[in-house]
Structures are given as C-alpha cells and as structure tokens.
Structure 1
Amino acid sequence: MKFFFDNTMSRKVVGALQVLDSSQQIVHLTARFPADTPDAEWISTLSAEEDWIIISGDVRITRNPGERAAWLESRLLAFFLAKGWTNQPLWEQAWRFVKWWPRIVEQAAWMKPPAGFIVPLKDSKLEQVRI
C-alpha cells in the first residue's frame, strides 16, 4: 500500500514509520511537493496516480466544501487525525501514532475508497467520516 502524509505529521515520525514498516510505501508531502502546496493540488495529483492512502491532521478537509470535493472526487482513502494530534509534543505524537499504525494498515487493506476515518487521539475506535 502507498501512504501519503501531509505536513501536519512530523517528517521525523514519517521517517520512523518508513524504518518500522518497510512493507509499505510511506511518503511525506515534502518528499514530492513544496511544503506550501495547497491540499486540493496534491490530492488531485495523487488521485491521478491512484491507490494512495492519505494521512492528514487537517480534518477540515472533511468539512471545507472545496477541499472535501477534491478529496471525494479523488476517490482516495483517507485517515484524518482528530483534534489534538497536531498539538502533541513530538514523542507523544510518535508513540501514539505508532500504536495506531497496525489498525490503520488493517483498515486500509479492506476498505474501498472513497472513504475516510477519524483517528482519535485517545479513544480506541476509528470513526468513519460521512460521505
């Protein structure tokens, strides 16, 4: 599977995941695009390549009409980090996300896009985004 992390996730955490799970293709936004690339632009590019799974801390993508439309039209699977994730210190964010990683990979393996999930900071269940 191919996982694409936007700028809301630390490149260090993404780098750690690349080492910990070499069976997946794991890419940070800055490896492919300038850091300030608008969401709709990178979503569109990934859509054309197909089979990408988005990991984003920008849950507004699920609510902002333009970004939501770009995501839904992309037909990409997405996991959005719930409020609070991006405010965590690096080590806190890292251990919490590594703990979630097997569940995210498992969910991504059987879910058909377009679909989205909210990854809670402390709860134990993914919440499906209404499409």
Structure 2
Amino acid sequence: MNVFFDNCTSPIFATTLHGFVQHQGHTAVHIRDVAALPNGRHSTDLEWIDLLRKSNDQWIFISGDGRVLRNPAERAALRSAGLHGFILAPAYQKAPLNQVASILIWRWPEILQITNLLQAPSMHEVPINKSAKLRALPI
C-alpha cells in the first residue's frame, strides 16, 4: 500500500507515517517528494490524481482539503482513478502537528481495514476524536 499526502497536509505526516509503516511493506510520500509529477509540489489535483491512476501500484491519498469533492472535474477524476481517499476533518487545521501525526498512526489499522474491505473508489473523513468512527463521504 502506498499513501500519498497532498499539498493540504504537512510533509511531517508523510515522514512520520512512513517510519511507522515501512516495516510492513507500505510507503507514505508527500507530494513534494514525488519526482514524477510534471510541476512538482505545484502540480494540480488533477495531475497527481492522474499520476496515481496510471501507476501499477495500489495508492490511497490523504488530504486536508474536502473541496476536492466539490470540484466536478476532480471528483470525476477521483472516481475514474479508483482511489481510496481520506479527508482530514476541519478540526485538524487547528491541531498541533504532533497530535495530527499521532492520530494518523492511531488510525492506520482502520484505514487499512477500509481499503481492504471496500472496493475503490471510496472516500472517508478522518475525525480528530480518536473514539469517533471514520465517516463515509459521497464520491
């Protein structure tokens, strides 16, 4: 499993999660570290979605911006790319980076379970409250 973090997330999240999951054969990367993107970190959502779609690897993405679901072109691209997406709830914007990173690690088993049980495409919101369940979002 490969995890892609977009520009609406801190690179710290990708490095932290990667350190936690790499021994299980998974990887986590931030958009700034993906050399194959035509405009690097400044690539549009449609560009990184297309890159993940064309990859032979299994990808999920994590974003801090739920607007990706409100843009018709991006929403259509996500559906056709067959990705599992996880949107961080708005409360994450005000949370310290160390807390957000710890919650992502806390949620990792749940994220894996969803990607194994559900057929892509799917979209879920990741609540900041550890006792709350991931919430399915319409795609």
Aligned to 1:52: 59
Sequence identity, in percent?
Answer: 34
Offset of 1:26 from its aligned partner? 1.4
- Structure 2 unaligned residues grouped into runs of 5+: none
| TM-score, scaled to structure 1 | 0.90
- Structure 1 unaligned residues grouped into runs of 5+: none
For 1:109 and 1:25, how far apart are their aligned partners in 2? 16
Offset of 1:5 from its aligned partner? 1.1
Partner of 1:15, secondary structure, is helix
Aligned to 2:10: 10
Offset of 1:38 from its aligned partner? 0.6
Comparing 83-92 and 20-29, the one that deviates more: 83-92
Offset of 1:42 from its aligned partner? 0.5
1:27-38 equivalence runs, <5 A = 27-32=29-34, 33=37, 34-38=40-44
Which residue identity lines up with residue 6 of structure 1 in the other structure?
Answer: D
Is the counterpart of residue 42 in structure 1 residue 44 in structure 2? Answer: no
Which residue identity lines up with residue 133 of structure 2 in the other structure?
Answer: K
Is the counterpart of residue 130 in structure 1 residue 138 in structure 2? Answer: yes
Partner of 2:132, secondary structure, is coil
Offset of 1:10 from its aligned partner? 1.6
Offset of 1:84 from its aligned partner? 2.0
1:1-131 equivalence runs, <5 A = 1-22=1-22, 23=24, 24-32=26-34, 33=37, 34-50=40-56, 51-122=58-129, 124-131=132-139
| TM-score, scaled to structure 2 | 0.85
After TM superposition, the runs of 4+ consecutive aligned structure 1 residues lying more than 4 A away are none
Offset of 1:17 from its aligned partner? 1.3
CA RMSD of aligned residues (A): 1.5
For 1:110 and 1:63, how far apart are their aligned partners in 2? 25
Deviations 1:25-54 (A, max 9, x none): 211111114222110110011101152111
CA contact (8 A) 2:3 2:61 kept: yes
Count of residues paired in the alignment: 131
Which residue identity lines up with residue 30 of structure 1 in the other structure?
Answer: R
